[in-house]
Structures are given as C-alpha cells and as structure tokens.
Structure 1
Amino acid sequence: MEWNDSMTLGYEPMDMVHQEFVELVADLQRCADAEVPAVLDELVEHLESHFRGEDELMTRHDFPPKDCHIEEHAAVLRSAAEVRQRVAHGDHAEARSFAAALAGWFPAHADYMDAALAHWMVKRLHGGKPLVFRREVHVGRAPGHALNANG
C-alpha cells in the first residue's frame, strides 16, 4: 500500500491521518517477522486514535450517516484486537493478512464514507466543497495507464 493523490479528500486533518495510516499499513506489509508485534501495536494504536477522532468529529458536527461509519470503525477495531491476540501467540501471518485486508478495505471506505465526512466538514467549517488538486490526471484512461506514442 502506498499513498497517492487519489487518496486525498480535501480536508487536511483527515488527509494527514490517512497518510499516516497508509504508511503504517505499508510498514506492516514489509517489516521483518521479528518486527511484526511492534509494528502491529503501532498500527492498532493509530487505528484507535484515528477512529476515535473521526467518531468524535461526526458526533460533534451532527454528521447524518455517523452510525454506519462508527460501526465500521468498531468492526475494524474488533478485528485488530483478534489479530493482536493471534500475533501474541506467534501467528505473524495473521498480521500480514490483516494488513492486506486493510489495504483492500481502505480505498472504498475513504472514497465513500470518509469523502462524505470530508465534504461535510469543509462545508460546515468553510461554506464550500473541498478543493483537491491532483498531480496525476488520467483523462479517459484507467488509473496507471501509460500513454504510448499513439496516445
């Protein structure tokens, strides 16, 4: 998993936390087995803080679909607790599977749930929509599609 412009939502506090999340998932994906418990602990601590912050934001600013969003966070934290227990018993493969699951889960969660929250926050705080500037623009092509000599 690697941070890229497509993950930017336009609400800087969330974008900064999401970038840290992506880096921690990547760390867990590539660390040595001996480092797995410590890296997993760091990721779980981040998740607890990350989700607590978003949950409080949604509650404080009356975000309409907060219940569904908060429940999704709680489900991820329950999974994280189970993975921590298994890793404590030496099952490092479980941590790798968890990292892969988070890498698969996050883009859709961010695109739908977190993007709606970012939009809500920018509108409430600044009266408009988030502005997102992307360095990589793919017009009429799938992301990652390279241009060739024929266009």
Structure 2
Amino acid sequence: MTSRPIPVPLTLGHTDIDGDHQEFTEWLVRLEAASGAEFIQQFGQLTDHLSHHFERENTLMVQSSYPACTEHRGEHNRVLGEMINFRARVESGRVSFGRAYVLEQLPGWFDLHVTTMDAALVEHLKRSQV
C-alpha cells in the first residue's frame, strides 16, 4: 500500500477554519502511526472531528449567504458519509479498509478541498466580514 504524504495545512486566514485544518492533519499523522486498537478508536474520533469541522463551515456559509453553499455542503456530506461507512467497517474489525482510506484517499482529497472550496469560502468570508 502506497500512502500519499500527509498534507501540510495551508493557512487561509480564518482562525477557526485554519485551526480545524491543522487538527485534521494532526489526526492523519496519528492515524498513520496507530496500531489496530488505537486506529479503531482514533478513526472514530477523526469522524467526529470532521463532523464538527464541516458543521462549523456549513454554519459560516449559511450566515454569510455563501453562493456556492450547496456544492460545498454536498462535498462535506459525501466525505462524511464515506467516513461513517468506513467507521462501521473499522469498528467491525476491518481496519485495513479504514487505514487504506486514511492513507490513500483523505490526503489528496484534503489538499484539493482546501485549495479550491475552502480557499474560495474564506475569500468570501473576508469580503463578508463574517
């Protein structure tokens, strides 16, 4: 299994969003090194983190009348749905499925999401002063 390098979070200039991105990358590092039992627990914690992380962004989008809210929220829902499905597999003992997802899929998704969707959101928030 070839893993992608853990992304270095870009600073977009929004304290809460940048903090969530930093925390997400820290979870990826922890999960990469986690043993089977630790991985199961930490995968659940990462899923919970993403739920809160996405909800914060979703709230900011609604508060600021972000024009791309539907698409951005849809991407959050898609990834959170994947995390929930993988969490069920991981908790049933199929750790390799979750590990492959964390190492092979999440880093690339995160880089793309931050540099496109989140960067556009933060620019909108700066203009809206939210």
Q: 2:107 aligns with which of 103, 108, 111?
A: 103
Residues 45-75 of structure 1, C-alpha deviation per residue, up to 9 Å, x if partnerless? 1000000110111011100011000000000
Alignment of 1:22 onto 2:25: yes
Instruction: Say whether the 8 Å CA contact 2:13–2:122 is kept in structure 1.
Output: yes
Matches within 5 A, 1:51-130: 51-100=54-103, 101-125=105-129
Q: What is the TM-score normalised by the length of structure 1?
A: 0.78
Offset of residue 2 of structure 1: 4.7
Taking the aligned partners of 1:82 and 1:9, their CA distance within structure 2 comes to 30
Point out where structure 2 has 5 or more consecutive residues left out of the alignment.
Answer: 1-5
Residues 75-105 of structure 1, C-alpha deviation per residue, up to 9 Å, x if partnerless? 0111011101111211111111221211110
Which letter maps to 2:75?
E
Taking the aligned partners of 2:30 and 2:15, their CA distance within structure 1 comes to 23
Q: What is the TM-score normalised by the length of structure 2?
A: 0.90
What is the aligned length?
124
Aligned to 1:132: none
Q: Per chain length, whose mean CA-contact separation is higher, i.e. which structure has more relative contact order (CA < 8 Å, sep 6+)?
A: 2
In our comparison, the structure showing a higher alpha carbon Rg is 1
Between stretches 108-117 and 98-107, larger displacement belongs to 98-107
Aligned to 1:147: none
Instruction: Say whether the 8 Å CA contact 1:58–1:66 is kept in structure 2.
Output: yes
Offset of residue 41 of structure 1: 1.0
Point out where structure 1 has 5 or more consecutive residues left out of the alignment.
Answer: 127-151
Offset of residue 32 of structure 1: 1.1
Between stretches 21-30 and 57-66, larger displacement belongs to 21-30
Aligned-pair identity in percent equals 33
The list of structure 1 runs, each at least 4 consecutive aligned residues, that deviate by more than 4 angstroms after superposition, is none
Offset of residue 10 of structure 1: 1.3
Taking the aligned partners of 1:34 and 1:98, their CA distance within structure 2 comes to 17
Aligned to 1:38: 41
CA RMSD of aligned residues (A): 1.3
Offset of residue 3 of structure 1: 2.8
Q: Which has the higher helix share?
A: 2
